[in-house]
């Protein structure tokens, strides 16, 4: 007749541990490939602006003169286009999500101003200016 | 292999061709409008995975007869075309008079807008 | 002859997953006619094609719907690729097929849960969605996202999946199969489920054909139509037959979807056994210049993608005809003559995905 066909599953779920996680008390373990948010290694950035052009939602703003790179966290759709397009590979996708908040968050990263160029050596080596950003 | 063809017809032949396809056992699949030289309408029909599309070109002010008397499901697609493009379609079986979608601006995809 | 009243159903209703409005013309407690009113989620996504380049429009196409999201992206990419006559690597086609079949399994499990919730069987709803979580974990492990994957692009797919991961997917599905069988046996055999679905909303084969029913709705009435037979992606290498029932009522539609879950598990097994090695994407330089009609089989039925390019990087027109749009006339027909208490079940048996319908 099929009156108690669900009985087995119900009995098992009485004795198994719950399928849900007591989030946020117990934090969630994210997979390593989860697309959470974009991280940048600002020291390596050359401010070419390719990531900003490729972004489909215009979430990235690159200021070349002030050496600033800003991302509107709530506008980003974690599509990974900027990571793939960056020529120096300074962008990466981290696997935790942006914290929800009540206002739109923009994160700005600035590269510290460059150190003074080292003086040309006496051996007349070609004077390549090495710009070393201070940590 | 299955067929997928586009056939151009005159606007006056639409009802005749639609009735012929109905008698052969085709079902209506979709109706699409595109704004290029007035409007370009595409009516797609399918029978056992072979798809035929009838294509006709009309000017913006022209009236088109509805095929919802032959194919009942066509009324939804034709109401959508009326709402979004402002194409004049007459003799609809169930006419929403431009109220199918709740839009802020009437006929937003019409070339005049 | 009873008195006629009009009862508005929706757009806010506890049983509806998405807003749709129906005006039900009732005589006592029997529905005589139903007049639909849609348009609560119209976002005008087809118009965005004028400002988004054709490579960026994939992200918009994916977000037309949350449940059938992968197949929308895949349909758009296939349509543009056929218009540009671009052949993508075979491995990419197999990967797309595997993700598409996983999408189908998760969509049907979601629907089973909603149907159970529709007649108040909450614990069955919870168990269906608990099993669905395992599929979402597979998605997260391979694509990085649970609902919106962003893994299709024009020219192939963006991520590769190692063969060990594919084997572990097959193993997870095999472990899950026994539990899914137990769950679906409840839908097929339980007395309460049967009393709510057998004989409700009967549609004969001729009516289904005239009204243009697609997907499981049409196949449950005896129509043999399944767009996977067209042989797109990797389906021409895989061996399957469309699942058809003849009863035409809500019980038959439930059985069709349940059998499709098991068919999808088998298709994934076949695809993983046959997947070739190689690249997963191909680079291209030109822009779409012609139009193309492309048909796919989404979990809910037949979807048509029409894209037209004119030689610039912006397409001229994208038109999506989703299966729920085609299933609304059969719904209106089934509602005639049913009781008021059966209306939520009938709306759920067409598997309404209203955000797809209105884009």
Identity of the residue in C133, C140, C194 whose CB atom sits nearest the CB atom of A34: C140
Residue of C nearest to A97 (CA): C145
CB crowding B20-58: b at 16 or more within 10 Å, else e: ebbeeebbbbbbbbbeeeebbbbbbbbbebebbbbbbbb
Among all chains, which residue has been given the structure tokens 């994210």? Answer: A30
pLDDT of residue C10: 77
CA distance A76 to A39: 12
Identity of the residue in C38, C321, C326 whose CB atom sits nearest the CB atom of B100: C38
Inside any domain, residue A7 = no
List the alpha helices (DSSP H) in chain A. Answer: 7-15, 50-54, 81-85
Confidence tier at A120 by pLDDT (50, 70, 90): very low
Q: Give Cα C270 to chain centroid, integer Å.
A: 21
- The residues, ordered by sequence, that sit 6+ positions from C190 with a Cβ below 8 Å of its Cβ are A2, A3, A5, A6
A130: left (phi over 0), alpha (psi -120 to 50) or beta: beta
Confidence tier at B71 by pLDDT (50, 70, 90): confident
Across the interface, whether the CB atoms of C212 and B53 are under 8 A apart is answered: no
Across the interface, whether the CB atoms of C158 and A34 are under 8 A apart is answered: no
Across the interface, whether the CB atoms of B108 and C306 are under 8 A apart is answered: no
Could you give the number of structural domains in chain A? 1
Hey, where are the domains in chain C? 4-358
Mind listing the pLDDT tens digit for each residue in A28-83?
Answer: 888 888 888 888 888 888 888 888 888 888 888 888 888 888 888 888 888 888 88
pLDDT of residue C37: 82
DSSP 8-state symbol, C221? T
Residues 96-135 of A with CB under 8 A from C: none
Q: Domain limits at A82?
A: 49-110
Across the interface, whether the CB atoms of B102 and C42 are under 8 A apart is answered: yes
Task: Return phi, psi of residue B76, to 5°.
Answer: -65, -45
DSSP 8-state symbol, A114? B
Residue of A nearest to C131 (CA): A19
Inside any domain, residue A125 = no
Pairing label, strands B4-8, B27-34: unpaired
Identity of the residue in A5, A8, A19 whose CB atom sits nearest the CB atom of C190: A5
Query: Do residues C323 and C214 touch, judged by C-beta distance below 8 A?
Result: yes
pLDDT of residue C144: 84
Average pLDDT, integer, range A112-127: 48
Query: Do residues C196 and C119 touch, judged by C-beta distance below 8 A?
Result: yes
Residues of C within 8 A of A34 (CB-CB) are 140, 144-145
List the alpha helices (DSSP H) in C12-68. Answer: 57-62
Across the interface, whether the CB atoms of C326 and B29 are under 8 A apart is answered: yes
Residue A133 has pLDDT above 60, yes or no: no
Q: What end-to-end distance do the CA atoms of chain B give, in Å?
A: 43
Residue of A nearest to C149 (CA): A79
Give the B-side interface with C, CB within 8 Å. Answer: 2, 4, 6, 25, 27-30, 32, 34, 36, 42, 44, 48-49, 51, 53, 71-73, 75-77, 94, 100-103, 108-109
Query: Do residues C296 and C73 touch, judged by C-beta distance below 8 A?
Result: no
CA distance C232 to C235: 6
Structure tokens at B52: 């035929």
- The residues, ordered by sequence, that sit 6+ positions from C204 with a Cβ below 8 Å of its Cβ are C221, C248
Across the interface, whether the CB atoms of B30 and C230 are under 8 A apart is answered: no
Closest CA to C358 of B66, B83, B38, B46: B83
CATH class, range C4-358? mainly alpha
Does chain B touch chain C (at least 3 C-beta pairs within 8 Å)? Answer: yes
CATH assignment at residue A99: 3.30.70.3270
**Low-confidence residues in chain C, pLDDT < 70:** 1-2
* Minimal C-alpha gap between C22 and chain A (Å): 34
CATH number for the B4-90 domain, one of 3.40.50.300, 3.40.50.1950, 2.30.42.10, 3.30.460.80?
3.30.460.80
Closest CA to B28 of B42, B40, B39, B38: B42
pLDDT of residue C230: 84
Residues of B within 8 A of C321 (CB-CB) are 29-30, 32, 77
Indicate whether this complex's ipTM tops 0.90: no
Closest CA to B46 of A93, C17, C301: C301
Identity of the residue in C56, C123, C143 whose CB atom sits nearest the CB atom of A10: C123
pLDDT of residue A110: 77
pLDDT of residue B112: 67
CA distance C197 to C277: 46
Confidence tier at B16 by pLDDT (50, 70, 90): confident
On whether any CB of chain B is under 8 Å from the CB of C252, the answer is: no
Query: Do residues C88 and C280 touch, judged by C-beta distance below 8 A?
Result: no
C20: left (phi over 0), alpha (psi -120 to 50) or beta: beta
pLDDT of residue A130: 45
Pairing label, strands A68-72, A60-63: antiparallel
Size of interface A-C (CB pairs under 8 A): 57
Across the interface, whether the CB atoms of B34 and C38 are under 8 A apart is answered: no
Across the interface, whether the CB atoms of B49 and C225 are under 8 A apart is answered: yes
Residues of A within 8 A of C186 (CB-CB) are 5-6, 9
DSSP 8-state symbol, C87? P
List the alpha helices (DSSP H) in chain B. Answer: 14-24, 74-85
Across the interface, whether the CB atoms of C212 and B73 are under 8 A apart is answered: yes
CA distance B109 to C129: 40
CA distance C131 to C172: 11
Q: Is the pTM of this model over 0.90?
A: no
Mind listing the pLDDT tens digit for each residue in B26-61?
Answer: 888 888 888 887 888 888 888 888 888 888 888 878
Residue C14: in which H helix or E strand, if any?
none
pLDDT of residue A117: 47
More confident position, A1 or A61? A61
Identity of the residue in B48, B100, B108 whose CB atom sits nearest the CB atom of C39: B100
Average pLDDT, integer, range B89-103: 79
Query: Do residues B56 and B14 touch, judged by C-beta distance below 8 A?
Result: yes
Residues of C within 8 A of B48 (CB-CB) are 225
CA angle C118, C124, C130 (to 5 degrees): 115
Report CA torsion sign: C249, C255, C261, C266. negative
Pairing label, strands C315-321, C301-309: antiparallel
**pLDDT cut 90: percent of chain C above it:** 7
pLDDT of residue B1: 62
* Minimal C-alpha gap between C14 and chain A (Å): 23
Among all chains, which residue has been given the structure tokens 């900027």? Answer: A82
Strands (E), C283-357: 291-298, 301-309, 315-321
Contact partners for chain C, using 3 or more CB pairs closer than 8 A, are A, B
Instruction: Report the C-alpha dihedral over residues C318, C324, C329, C330, rounded to 10 degrees.
Output: 140
């Amino acid at each position: 007749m099929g009156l108690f066909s669900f009985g087995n599953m119900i009995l098992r779920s009485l004795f198994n541990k719950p399928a849900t996680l007591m989030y946020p008390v117990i934090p969630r373990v994210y997979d390593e490939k989860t697309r959470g948010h974009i991280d940048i290694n600002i020291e390596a950035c050359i401010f070419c602006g390719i990531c900003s052009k490729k972004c489909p939602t215009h979430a990235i703003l690159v200021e070349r003169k002030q050496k600033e790179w800003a991302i509107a966290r709530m506008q980003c759709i974690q599509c990974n286009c900027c990571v793939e397009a960056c020529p120096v590979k300074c962008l990466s996708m981290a696997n935790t999500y942006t914290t929800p908040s009540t206002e739109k968050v923009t994160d700005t990263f600035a590269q510290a101003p460059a150190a003074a160029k080292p003086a040309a050596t006496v051996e007349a080596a070609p004077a390549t200016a090495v710009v070393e950003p201070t940590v | 292999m299955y067929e997928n063809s586009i056939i151009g017809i005159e606007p006056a032949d639409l009802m005749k061709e639609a009735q012929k396809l109905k008698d052969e056992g085709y079902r209506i699949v979709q109706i699409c409008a595109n704004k290029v030289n007035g409007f370009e309408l595409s009516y797609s029909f399918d029978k056992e995975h072979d798809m035929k599309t009838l294509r006709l070109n009309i000017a913006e002010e022209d009236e088109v007869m509805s095929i919802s008397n032959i194919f009942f499901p066509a009324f939804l697609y034709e109401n959508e075309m009326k709402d979004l493009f402002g194409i004049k379609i007459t003799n609809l079986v169930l006419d929403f008079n431009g109220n199918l979608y709740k839009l802020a601006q009437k006929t937003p995809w019409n070339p005049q807008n | 002859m009873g008195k006629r009243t009009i009862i508005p159903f929706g757009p806010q209703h506890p049983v509806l997953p998405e807003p749709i409005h129906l005006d039900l013309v009732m005589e006592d407690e029997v529905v005589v006619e139903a007049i639909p009113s849609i348009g609560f989620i119209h976002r005008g996504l087809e118009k965005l094609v004028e400002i988004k380049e054709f490579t960026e429009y994939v992200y918009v196409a994916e977000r037309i719907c949350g449940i059938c999201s992968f197949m929308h992206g895949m349909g758009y990419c296939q349509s543009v690729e056929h218009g540009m006559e671009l052949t993508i690597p075979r491995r990419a086609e197999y990967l797309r097929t595997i993700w598409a079949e996983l999408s189908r399994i998760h969509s049907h499990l979601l629907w089973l849960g909603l149907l159970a919730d529709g007649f108040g069987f909450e614990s069955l709803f919870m168990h269906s969605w608990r099993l669905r979580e395992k599929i979402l974990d597979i998605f997260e492990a391979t694509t990085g996202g649970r609902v919106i994957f962003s893994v299709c692009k024009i020219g192939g797919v963006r991520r590769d999946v190692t063969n060990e991961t594919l084997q572990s997917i097959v193993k997870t599905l095999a472990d899950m199969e026994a539990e899914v069988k137990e769950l679906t046996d409840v839908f097929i055999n339980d007395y309460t489920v049967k009393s709510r679905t057998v004989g409700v909303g009967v549609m004969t084969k001729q009516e289904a054909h005239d009204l243009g029913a697609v997907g499981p709705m049409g196949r449950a009435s005896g129509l043999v139509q399944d767009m996977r037979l067209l042989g797109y992606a990797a389906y021409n290498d895989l061996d399957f037959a469309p699942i058809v029932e003849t009863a035409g009522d809500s019980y038959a539609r439930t059985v069709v979807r349940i059998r499709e879950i098991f068919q999808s598990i088998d298709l994934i097994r076949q695809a993983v056994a046959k997947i070739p090695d190689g690249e997963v994407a191909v680079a291209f330089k030109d822009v779409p210049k012609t139009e193309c009609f492309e048909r796919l089989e989404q979990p809910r039925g037949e979807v048509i993608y029409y894209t037209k390019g004119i030689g610039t990087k912006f397409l001229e027109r994208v038109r999506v005809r989703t299966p729920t749009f085609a299933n609304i006339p059969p719904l209106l027909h089934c509602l005639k003559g049913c009781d008021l208490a059966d209306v939520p079940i009938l709306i759920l048996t067409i598997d309404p995905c209203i955000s797809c319908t209105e884009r």
